Chains A and B, each alone.
Chain A
Amino acid sequence: MPRHFGEKARTMSDESVPHPTPENSRRISVDYLARVEGEGAMHVWTRDGVVEDVKLKIFEPPRFFEAFLRQRSFTEAPDITARICGICPVAYQMSACHAMERAAGVKVEGPLRELRRLLYCGEWLESHGLHVFMLHAPDFLGYESGIAMAADHRPLVEMGLRLKKLGNTIGSLLGGREIHPVNIKVGGFYKVPRQRDLDSLREELKWGADASEKTARWAADLPFPDFEQDYEFVSLSHPGEYPMNEGRLVSNRGLDIDVANYEDHFEEQHAPYTNALHSVKKGSDSYFVGPMARFALNFDRLTDRCRSVARECGLDGICRNPFQSIIVRSIEMLYACEEALRVIEQYERPDRPAIDVDPSGSRGWGLTEAPRGSLFHRYDIDDDGLITSAKIVPPTSQNQLRIEKDLREFVPRYLELPDDKLQWHCEQAIRNYDPCISCATHFLKLERIDATS
């Protein structure tokens, strides 16, 4: 048996997916997606060599964060939402802060804005470092897990752990601690670092840039299946920088909107077989958020070094093969190191760690680029500064339909393989998106938000 599916005690029962399985049909079920954050299950139905249906299911208990936020002070939103995910707390904090600042009609600028970018660099390094080396690399090298790979590829795994640790170190320095940063607040920080604190990161960041470049070149030589798709990529785009916190939301099919208009263009649908929500673009269908989308839509805003490494890796401005996202993530790690060095180089310690923000009696929207894609928040705040409604759209629920579509395209090519091999390939196709299933699980109450809007 590949991996440890059978060892997972708490898998979902097959009976929960009512679907006919006649004799000439074949069903592949992966009841536990190894190496994906959180827990999920995938079901593929085929008949006579034709894929009939693909469903991706989420079975972590629903989370009540949106409801939980109601009647809490606006100042609490960053810390409460950060708990949705242990891998990308910074993204939740940033989207929440930006939404509150937008509601208050203020902008965090100058060194505080720069420190937020630095913090985001840390999160990208930490998250991509885990995914590239421990989750994705084993797929291409033929190991069932990062641990199994470690014994044979020790220098590679050590390099990955060191890159990930560099991200953690940045997070601890700015966030106060590694996993759930406590130093972030609406308007800025509780405490800002001194120049010498930041200088301590310099040497390791230079190493990190070289290591990321090496990783991208190594990844470019991996054996990728031929699987280019015609995606609608969606990400932030900012005229002056590779996007993290700010910009307009754009796509390669003409979308170009203020994030305040997000809900005019996208809606979440509740599929009966999962307690995560599927996000769709109104009037079309699935879309793709994450590193490949950012890369495709913002290639010219990467550094010279990132662009030239990308080109040498065969990616000249766009990558349409999701298996090659491992190269794109490596290039984003290189960017994160270079960008962090730039911020440190130009840092001037701000006089105040935060600006005043009062969003009372208003509505605000925030969308920032989590490692795995765009993360949207919207809040309504009453006159006392309490949240009356909250909406959170995580990247994985935006990618979920797209993942299912990839599987529908992908499975027919490998139908001749035995079940365990096909299963493994399907898992890889899902893992390409680095889905954070624990983020994507939140509970929907359909009547709640629209009623007040």
Chain B
Amino acid sequence: MMPSTQDNGNSRYEAKGNNVSKLLEVKNLETRFKARNGYVYAVNGVSFSLEKGEMLGVVGESGCGKSVTMMSLIKLLPPSAEITSGEVFLDGEDISHASAKKMNYIRGVKVGMIFQDPMTSLNPFVKIGLQLAEGIMYHKKLSKEEAYRQAGIYLDLVGISNSTERLNEFPHQLSGGMRQRVMIAMALLSEPSLVIADEPTTALDVTIQAQIVELIKEIRERLNTSIIWITHDLSLLAGMVDRIVVMYSGMIVEEATLEEIYKNPQHPYTIGLLQSIPKVDASHGKRLPSIGGAPPNLFIKPTSCPFAPRCAYKIDRCEQENPQIREVRTLHEKNHHRVACWVDVEKRS
């Protein structure tokens, strides 16, 4: 799995090929948005894969392209967006050129979505029951009774009591945490092989967040669903995922198994993010290590390392060439770790 030096990230996975255990494979994805004065380069060559039953965390700041990457996979993008390159394999099947009808089926059956804001993702005029049942009635050709029965079962699964009564309620009758549970039930109802959760707990309070995280962990154990969890909160992922992808300026800057990210972070950006989280033992008055500068300008497509202007370890090469993502030494053999940085950790000063 060693990357060759010449490629653009395309052949990174060639060695393993389309392995059957891979649920999702993304190669060199690029997405941009048309703006009034040029393009916003949101995703700039992203490649990653997901095993069956795996839980992947995608972390980055607003505008780093984490959501757009995932929305590009299932083509859930506004008209101003344009996917300029990339291949997406779901269950070994190339879906990057799938028709609109096929994509409808994929979004309806194969991939479930949970969004950040449960207040706006539910239709306020439609009862919970119909909103849940609608999808499987259409895609799985279930009868109304059967679809509602299924909906009830999934409401029970996500911990909503009196599920039969809840089916007849409107979204406003539920609290924020409850609505997010409904969204989760909706995402799971078609028994998808992949669930994409886009900051599902950001709009919720910490105690409710803990409830939802616990619920998703439980569900994953029971149903063995593959999950991609998008967030800006690195601490949240520590107790949850198998592997983490760190994004910056529309690119993956680091990708590693859980232990590696927290114990052996390599990219200066990841290190900076981890350090800027206030620690338990930090005494009052101590300054927090912070990352200087501001997030990147997305109107310019990066040709050199996008983090270089904020990086303390940059060398001349960082401002000339974009670093390829490469394998680095791991703490344990079973781990896996890739970083896009020209400067080795040992050589930083």
| Same assembly | no
